[in-house]
Each structure stands twice: as structure tokens, then as C-alpha cells.
Structure 1
Amino acid sequence: MTVDSYLFCPKDPSEYVARFTTESAAVSSLIETQPLDTAVPTCGDWDLAALVTHVGWVYRWAAVALRTAAMPERGAVSRPDSPDELHDWFTTSATDALDALHSVDPSAPTWHPFQPPQLAGFWLRRLTHETTIHLLDAQLTCSMTPDIDAGMASDGIDEYLTVALPRVLSGEGVTAPTTTLHIHCTDVDGEWLIVPSADGLVITREHAKGDAALRGPAAALFAGLWGRQEAANEIDIAGDADVAASWLAIGGN
């Protein structure tokens, strides 16, 4: 995959820290107020307990990768022994991830399973958007209306396209579309063109014509690209609707 430029944190790092702190606390609050066996409609067969365990596990896994600069060994990351432990386990997971982010120089080496350079600064942005999309899952599960900052959602779209999407498309049995797609935020800055090539995706941040275009508020586009169509009904499609549908069907967890 190639992109026209790549920055680990296009926004000030303090914005990611603030968003991570606020949204991980919101997830923690839901654990205390909602039945943990509630099915999560946007995440296959997961219930709320499985969703929260996944997010907390990612936090702990990233913290180990940050501190050791290596792929965490099997068994290095614990899971809660019972639902009664989930709240405290998750809260500790978020604190541990934030402590690791603060304690490691962003230019230090790390390990992660994505394409960008193996540098510690990668993790702050990745964990922030991981939290945002799964808080959205939890809020939809609990019949709450997600409230995603438009500027952060635009950054989340960029992170999805340049980080998450290539990994999803590398999965077994996943076929990448051969068509081009233009994405255009209507409420904040943010435009991208996706062009498949023999070497993977070529992503440019520009106003350009694709076989199809997705236009709408950044939060709706962010949700839709991640496959959360329940929060993406404000997206307008131009051009070939089948092309747009093929890209929106990819999603991700």
C-alpha cells in the first residue's frame, strides 16, 4: 500500500489522550449500568462482555508491545476470570495502556501487526480509534446515540484507510474491490481517493473522481467504513451504487 503522506498523529497528541481517556471511561461506565449478556448487533456473536473484553485485551496487548518492543508472547495478556471482575479489569487495562504510552518515547521501536513503521508513536492514534469504534458498538447496543467529534472522525477515516483496511484486506478469504472510491466529508476537511493496484491500495488525500463516491458527515463515514451501517444513514452515494456497497461491505473489527 502507498499513501501520499503518513503521520502517526496528525492531531496534537493531547487530543488523542483526551479522547482515549473520555471514551474508555464511557465504556467503563456502561459495564456498570448495562447487562453484560446483551447481544452486540454490530459485532457478530459478541455480547457486551465479549466486546469490552476485546477492547481491554487490545489495551493490554499494546502496553506489552510498547514496553518490550516485541510481539507479546502467548499468555502475556490476561483476561478477566469472571464477569464480576470485568469492570476493574477493563479500567486497569485502560490505565496500563495510557501509562505505557506516556512512558515510551514515540520514536522508540515497537511491534504491531500493521503496515506503518514499527515505532511506538503508532499506538496512540490506533488505540484511540479502536476505542471510538467499539464505544459506538456499545452505545448502539444500549440504544444510545453515538456522539463522535467530526474532526476526530475524519482522522479516524484516514486511520482506517491507511492502517486498518490494508490489514483487513490481507485476511484469508477477503477479496479487495478492483474499483476506485472517493470519500468526501461534508462537515469538516477530509477527502480521499482509493485506487487498487498490483502492489495494494494507493490512497491519496485529494478531491478526485472515483467509480463511486461516499459523501456525508465524518462520523457517518467513519461508522460506515467500519461496517457500522446502523450509524451511517447520512451517507450519500454518487456513481455506481454496487461499487460503493462493495467497499462498505468490508468493514472490520
Structure 2
Amino acid sequence: MTRLPSERYLAALDADAGRILDLTRTPGALAAAVPACPGWTVADLVRHLGGVYLHKAESVRLGRRAPDDEVDQGPAGDEALLAWFAEALADIRSVVGGDPERAAYSWWAADQTVGFWARRMAQETLVHRVDVEQALGLAPDVDEALAADGVDEVLVAFLPVWLPADGAAAGVRDDLRAHVAVAAAGREWDVRVEGLSAVVAAGPSGAVDRVSGPADALLLWAWGRAGSAGFDVVGEEGVAVLREVLRGATQ
């Protein structure tokens, strides 16, 4: 497991959350529909992300997953909602801004540290900043190193945890098979999907099926925020299987 320096995540969290706040103060922005989240407005997205901040901050404080039904969902009214979001941001920022190696609860056994949450909240906020920009008709810009780190997080952390735990309930077929190399920004991952399990290794892959291209394009594809335009695909069937399981893992 390789993380970026914690300061990089904190700077990204601050910048992207600040961008969300700036954009949502534009008249009419909160009522805009979010293309990647059918049925959601930008206000719904802000409420969701603020709730994520509060839930994860409380989980770290408790040393276990906080009850989902106890998370503050924010007030009514645009100004009150944005003020609440800023407070939620300050809460998670105070939690993830400490020593990244300090022990902390997380859902990923391989990384039980505060640094896990600095990374997770930076990546979560990046994706939702893109959501807001797309809702407002703006072209998103994603830093290459942060995007490659996000691809790594989705493949190495999300997919192997989500597939055996929740894949069946999400309708993933147990006969799915794929062996795919994923490459971006000079990095490569070997991904094997076998029914309701996934084995992912960072490093050179001998897979014939392959998806490669700019890290930002791959990250947005993995999160369902963009199609496959802008990168190369070899072996459409295997890549389609990977996209299917990623769709579930990133919901």
C-alpha cells in the first residue's frame, strides 16, 4: 500500500470542499441536477457529503463504525445547509489533520490509521466536486497524481472488500470472470475478478485484457462519472466485467 503524503490529501480536501462551497453559492446551483446521481440535486449531494464527513469523524472518535441512523442530515434552507456543510468539513478536518500514522478504525483491514481517512475523504470530496462541476456544466480538472492515487484506492481497497461482502446483494453474478491490467500515470495494477471475489496487485500485469490512459479519465470512469473516451481498451469483455463490478463498489 502506498499513500501520498498526508499533507497532499489535506490540501486537496480543503481545495475541493472549498470549490464546492464556492460553486454552490451561485444562484440556482443547489437546485441543479447531478448527472451521475439520478434523482439528486446539488443540495442533496452537499447534504450527503456533509453527512459523510460527520459520520466518519464520529467513527474515528468512537473507534468503530458510527450508527448510520444517528448522522445529522443537515438543516433546511440554502444558507443554513451551506453553513452546516462548512461545520461538517471543519469536524472531519480536525480528525484527519493529525498524525497520519495514529491508529484509527477503518473498514479496510490493511490500513487502520488516521491517514486512511485523510486519503478517503480527499478522494470522496474530489469525486463529489466533479459531480458539482458536471451539474453546472463545467469541465472538471483533476490532478494526475491524486487521480492515480484514486484509481489505486478503488482497485486495491474498495473492490476486494466490496465484492465478497455486498456483491451478491447488488446482483453481481458468481460466474463473472476477468483478468485485466489497468495502467495510468506510469503505474499498473493486475486485477482478477472471479465471481464474488477480486484479487488486485499493484505492479506489472500479464493480463491480455487491458485498460490504460490518463489517470483522471480512468478515475472518473471507475467512479461512473465518465465513459471510456480518452483511453485505450483491449479485450472489451473483460473490461466490461471490471466496469460492472466497479459500478457496484463505488455506489
Task: Give TM-score scaled by structure 2 length.
Answer: 0.87
| CA separation of 1:246 and 1:44: change in aligned 2, threshold 3 A | farther
Cα contact 2:101–2:115 (8 A) shared by 1? yes
Q: Distance in 2 between matches of 1:235 and 1:70?
A: 39
Higher relative contact order, structure no. (Cα contacts within 8 Å, ≥ 6 residues apart): 1
Instruction: Give 2:156's match in structure 1, choosing from 151, 162, 167.
Output: 162
Paired residue type of 1:32: R
Q: Displacement, 1:155? A: 0.5
Query: Cα offset for 1:15?
Result: 0.6
Name the counterpart of 1:219. Answer: 216
d(CA) in 2 for partners of 1:206 and 1:22?
30
Secondary structure of 1:195's counterpart equals strand
Q: Which residue of 1 aligns with 2:94?
A: 99
SS of the residue corresponding to residue 140 of structure 2 reads: coil
- Across the two proteins, how many residue pairs are aligned to each other? 241
1:233 aligns with 2:229: yes
The question of 1:48 aligning with 2:42 is answered yes
Over the residues paired in the alignment, what is the CA RMSD in angstroms?
2.1
Hey, what's the Cα distance between the residues in 2 that align with 1:25 and 1:194?
35
CA apart distance, 1:116: 3.3
Q: Are the aligned partners of 1:180 and 1:212 in contact in 2 as well (CA < 8 Å)?
A: yes
Counterpart of 1:237, as a letter, is: V
Partner in structure 2 of residue 153 of structure 1: 147
**Do structure 1's residue 28 and structure 2's residue 24 form an aligned pair?**
no
Question: C-alpha separation between the residues in 1 aligned to 2:42 and 2:16?
Answer: 16
Which residues of 2 match residues 242-253 of structure 1 at below 5 A?
Answer: 242-249=237-244, 250-251=246-247, 252-253=250-251
Name which of structure 1's ranges 41-50 and 160-169 shifts more when overlaid on structure 2.
Answer: 160-169
Q: Distance in 2 between matches of 1:53 and 1:147?
A: 23
The aligned runs of 1:70-149 (5 Å cut-off) are 70-84=64-78, 85-103=80-98, 106-110=101-105, 112-149=106-143
Cα distance in 2 for residues equivalent to 1:154 and 1:105: 20
Q: Pick from 18, 32, 42: which aligns with 2:11?
A: 18
Query: Distance in 2 between the 1:167 and 1:52 partners?
Result: 26
Q: Partners in 2 of 1:139 and 1:60 — Cα distance?
A: 23
- In the other structure, the counterpart of 1:3 is none
Aligned with 1:145: secondary structure?
coil
- CA shift, 1:202, in A, is 1.7
Aligned residue for 1:44, secondary structure, equals coil
Contact 2:75/2:84, CA 8 A, preserved across alignment: no
TM (norm. structure 1) is 0.87
For structure 2, list consecutive stretches of 5 or more residues without a partner in the other structure. Answer: none
1 or 2, which has the higher helix percentage? 2
Shift of 1:63: 0.8
How far apart are 1:117 and its partner, in Å?
4.0
Between 241-250 and 134-143, the greater mean CA deviation after superposition: 241-250
165-174 or 46-55, which deviates more: 165-174
Q: Name the aligned partner's letter for residue 10 of structure 2.
A: V
Percent identity, aligned pairs only? 25
Give the distance between the partners of 2:64 and 2:241, measured in 1 at CA.
35
